[in-house]
Amino acid sequence: MNKTVCLEDLGYKDYKETWDYQEQLFKHILAIKIKNRREDAGLETPNHFLYVEHPHVYTLGKSGDINNLLANEAQLKTKGATFYKINRGGDITYHGPGQIVGYPILDLDNFFTDIHKYLRLLEEMVILTLSEYGIKAERSKGETGVWLDVGTPFARKICAMGVRASRWVTMHGFALNINTDLGYFDMMIPCGIKDKAVTSLNVELGQPKVDMEEVKQKLLRHFEELFEASIIKEKTSV
């Protein structure tokens, strides 16, 4: 089993371009798995972890409700935002500047074949990272992602998650609010959950800005520990 994960930081990149690149990596892994099954080729499947920061964009999962987007096309254009229906699970999500988006594209046959465990470990990665900043984050029963003050009137979401998996290969991932303009969340019902707020790390810390590169490194360290993986910081061509 190959537990090496190739890290690529794509920087500031358009959502659709990144989605297309994810699909390319995803299909490449699937093709190797199909070849192995048909020909007993015994080829190793690669694993990838993409970091990216998107321009303002709203995405709706395949089971989501378009009514959870509270803006029309003209309003989105005024705010410099785009919209896509996509093939992950979950409802509506916002991505934008100041947010760390992570897309692990893993062959779970290299780790464990359990999507529930996969999501819980991604949540744990974020929870452990936030704890390093003195933030007590947790899960909310029946609601994927990472939250603060669960079970109180002040419950608020700091990290959204939505994944797709086929033949145990994953794509899409998580979006952690760091220095995010939270005003953009007013144009939607986050993840289709009404009456719950959204927050970011800089707001919780009372700081104008948090070092995003520092947060990325902490996330990767916890990812390596939780998945018993080894991160390689170089690009793998497909």
Give the catalytic positions in this structure.
Answer: 191
Closest CA to 177 of 211, 149, 155, 201: 201
SS (HEC) of 41-109:
CCCCCCCEEEEEECCCEEEECCCCCHHHECCCHHHHHHCCCEEEECCCCCCEEEECCCEEEEEEECEHH
CA distance 80 to 136: 33
According to DSSP, the residues that pair with 180 across neighbouring strands are none
Closest CA to 106 of 28, 54, 40: 28
> In Å, how far are 145, 161, 181, 198 from 150, measured between CA atoms?
12, 17, 22, 12
Tokens describing residue 53: 């920061």
Which DSSP letter does residue 188 get? B
Q: Position 174: which residue type?
A: F
